[in-house]
Structure 1
C-alpha cells in the first residue's frame, strides 16, 4: 500500500458525501426468501430505468422517476424513504437463473443483455418484451458476466469455460465469436474500457485479473495482475483507462495501474469469503460501491483504504422466519459526473430486497 496513508486527516475530513435512502423495494411475500436473490442491478444509461435480475429467472424493470423522488428537506435526511411492494414496471421471464445484466449502448435504453446459468447470452427488447439475440457458444458452462463496448458494436461474455468471447450483436445469435480470449480459470467478470479504447478487463477464479487488447485477443493478455488470494469476481475500469479496480473473495478490492502491473491500494472492511458480492465504480466521482456478506453496503473513496460509508440493509428475517446467511450481491452506480446532479447507488440483496440511495457531494475538495 505504497501511498494509502499519504493524505492528511484534514483532507480526508473535507471529503464529505451525503447518502440518503430514497427507495426500498421489498420482495413479494410469496418470494421473500433466497429464491428471489438479486444477483445483478443495472441503471439504464438514459437515466430512465433500473433493471434487476437473479436466480428467480426474472428481469424486473423500475422507473427511476419513482425510485428517485425530489430531495427532501436536508435537515431531515431520513424523512423521504418510500417503501413499495409493487413498483415494478415490467417483468421479463427468462428460461434460466440469471447471473448478469448490461444495457447495450446505442439502444436508447431499449435493449438489455443477460448471462445465465445455462451458458446462454440473451438480449431483450424491453419495449416489446421480446428476445432479439441469443448466443449459446460457451458449451453450456455458466456465463457469469456480460458487457458491451462503448459504441455497442461488440459484446463480451465471460464464462466458467475459462474464456471471454467477443461478438457483434448486430449479427444476431448465429455469428461466430469475433475473438476468444483465454484466462487461467473460470471468468467471473468482464468489462470493456468505458472510454472507447480496445481494452477488455477480466477477473478469473485463478486469483488473477487480465487485460486484453480486443484487436488481438487471441494473442493473450497484455497485462496479468496477481495479488488476490482467492477468486477475482469483478474487474472494473476506474478514472481513466489506465486504472482498474478488482474485487476478490479474499475480502478485498484492489486498485491497479495495470500497464505497470502495480497495485496502488487495497480496500478492506466489507466481508466476502464465499459469495459474489456486488462491486461498482462511479468513475466520475472516484467511489467504489460494494456489497458484503454482512448484509451491508460499503462505499470506498479510491484514495483511502477504509470505507467512508456503511449502511445495513433492512432485513426481513423475522417476517419470513429465515435464519440463513444473507448478503448484498449486487450494486450499481448511475454513471453521472461527480458535479451537478446527485448520483444514485442501487443495491440488491440475497432476500430480494432492493434499495436505492441518493448520493450528494457536500464539499468541493475532490
Structure 2
C-alpha cells in the first residue's frame, strides 16, 4: 500500500499562512517602533529675519535650497531673496555665546547676526551646489532666469555664466565627482545639459532631453561616490539614469511616481531615493529599476519641499506643505520623527511650508539636519542615537 503525503485542507493552509503573515507584521511593527525610539531629535536653533519676528513674513524670504560644503562646516542657502547667504555651522550651534537669545532652550538668531556674509544674485535662486575640488571656494547656482553662475566666495564675485536654456528656469545644478569635473543643469526647457567647468565659456559636453514630450527636468544628481552615472528626474513622473561617457540613451528608467519627480538623491552606488508631488518618497534599486520601498506621511502635492539623505545613518529628511519636518528610516515606510514648525505660521494663517532640507554628512551616532521654510526661517535640528543596554 502506497503512503501518499498528507495534504493540508486548503483552509488549514490559509490559517497557517495567515498566522505567519500576522507574525511577520508584528515583528515589523516591533522593529519600526524600535527605530522610532532609536533617535532623540531636538530643535536647537532658529534663524529668522529680525524685521519679521512679530509680523507677517515677506514672501521674498522663502528659502529654496540649503547645502553643506565638503567640510560639512559651512552652510550656503538660496531662494527668493536673490541672496546666497553663507553661515558657519559652529556659530549656529549651542555654545558659550552671550550674544545669543534663548527661548525654551532654543537659540534664536536673526540672519543679519548669524550670517557670515552674503552675495547678491541677479535673479531668484532655485538651486545651489558647492563645486568639488574648490575647497569651499566656489559655488554654482541655477536661477529663475535660466542662467547658471559660479561664484568665487573669496572675492565674492561671479566668475562664470552660462545661459543655454533659452531663459527657461533652471531647477537644479550639480557637479560630477570625476576628473575633469563636469557641471550639469536641468531646466523647464526639458533638457539636462552638461558642460566642461575648465572652459571659461562652459563648453557643452552633452544635451539630453529625457522625455519625448520635452517635460521639464526638475532635478539632476551625479553619483557622489564617483561612478559615471547622472540621475535626472522629470515632470513626466520618471527618473532617468545616464552614463556620462555616452548619453545617447538612458541606462535605466525608474517609473513609479504618479506626478512630477522633484528630487533624486543617491543613497549608495545603486540605491536612489526620489521625491514627487504625489506625496511620497521612493527607494529604488537602479540595477533592476525596481521600487524597494515607498515612504508616506508628509504632505506634498504642489511645491518643492526638499529631500536630503544622511547616508551614514540611513535616514531620509523632507519638508511638508503643512509646515512640518519629516524624518524616515530607510527601512520603514512610516516617518520615525515629525516636527511641527510654528503650526499657525508667523502670519497666524497656518500657510507655511518647509521648502528645503539638508543633512550634515558626518558621524554615525549623531546627526545635524538644517531646514528652511517659506517664511525664511532656518532651523537646526540635532539627533543622537540612544544607547541600548543589552538585557
TM-score (norm 2): 0.85
The reply to whether residue 25 of structure 1 matches residue 47 of structure 2 is yes
**Counterpart in the other structure of 1:244:** 272
Contact 2:359–2:369 (CA under 8 A) maintained in structure 1: yes
Following superposition of structure 1 onto structure 2, how do residues 186-335 of structure 1 map, counting pairs within 5 Å?
A: 186-217=216-247, 219-238=248-267, 240-314=268-342, 317-318=345-346, 321=347, 323=349, 325-335=351-361
The Cα shift of 1:210 comes to 0.8
| Equivalent of 1:45 in 50, 54, 70 | 70
**Counterpart in the other structure of 1:8:** 28
Aligned-partner SS, 1:69: coil
- Runs of 4+ residues over 3 Å off in structure 1: 4-7, 315-318, 321-324
Aligned-partner SS, 1:178: strand
The Cα shift of 1:176 comes to 2.2
Alpha-carbon distance change, 317 to 296 in structure 1, aligned in 2, over 3 angstroms: closer
**Counterpart in the other structure of 2:13:** none
The Cα shift of 1:111 comes to 0.9
Alpha-carbon distance change, 364 to 336 in structure 1, aligned in 2, over 3 angstroms: farther
Q: How many aligned residue pairs are there? A: 349
Q: Which digits, 9 at most, give the CA deviation of each residue in 1:22-80, with x for residues without a partner?
A: 21001232682222100001111212211111011111111111112359xxxxxx964
Q: Which digits, 9 at most, give the CA deviation of each residue in 1:169-204, with x for residues without a partner?
A: 2212x1321111222111101101010000101110
**Counterpart in the other structure of 2:90:** 65
Contact 2:343–2:350 (CA under 8 A) maintained in structure 1: no
Q: Which digits, 9 at most, give the CA deviation of each residue in 1:90-118, with x for residues without a partner?
A: 11100001001111111111111110000
**Counterpart in the other structure of 1:179:** 206
The Cα shift of 1:337 comes to 3.9
Alpha-carbon distance change, 141 to 82 in structure 1, aligned in 2, over 3 angstroms: same
Instruction: Report the aligned-residue RMSD.
Output: 2.1
**Counterpart in the other structure of 2:15:** none
The Cα shift of 1:364 comes to 7.4
Q: Which digits, 9 at most, give the CA deviation of each residue in 1:252-304, with x for residues without a partner?
A: 00011122110111100000011111111111211110000010000001110
Q: Which digits, 9 at most, give the CA deviation of each residue in 1:203-237, with x for residues without a partner?
A: 100111111111111x1211111111110001111
CA distance in 2, matches of 1:351, 1:34: 7
Q: Which digits, 9 at most, give the CA deviation of each residue in 1:287-323, with x for residues without a partner?
A: 11000001000000111000000001136745xx463
The Cα shift of 1:21 comes to 1.2
Contact 2:299–2:321 (CA under 8 A) maintained in structure 1: yes
CA distance in 1, matches of 2:40, 2:280: 24
Alpha-carbon distance change, 364 to 130 in structure 1, aligned in 2, over 3 angstroms: farther
TM-score (norm 1): 0.90
Aligned-partner SS, 1:244: strand
The Cα shift of 1:327 comes to 0.8
**Counterpart in the other structure of 1:75:** none
Q: Gapped runs of 5+ residues in structure 2?
A: 1-23, 97-102
CA distance in 1, matches of 2:300, 2:25: 24
The Cα shift of 1:158 comes to 0.7
Contact 1:111–1:126 (CA under 8 A) maintained in structure 2: yes
Contact 1:5–1:304 (CA under 8 A) maintained in structure 2: no
Q: Which one scores higher on RCO, CA 8 angstroms, separation ≥ 6? A: 1
Aligned-partner SS, 2:158: strand
Alpha-carbon distance change, 7 to 188 in structure 1, aligned in 2, over 3 angstroms: farther
Contact 1:121–1:136 (CA under 8 A) maintained in structure 2: yes
Alpha-carbon distance change, 211 to 359 in structure 1, aligned in 2, over 3 angstroms: same
The Cα shift of 1:9 comes to 3.1
Q: Gapped runs of 5+ residues in structure 1?
A: 72-77
Contact 1:14–1:363 (CA under 8 A) maintained in structure 2: no
CA distance in 2, matches of 1:324, 1:34: 14
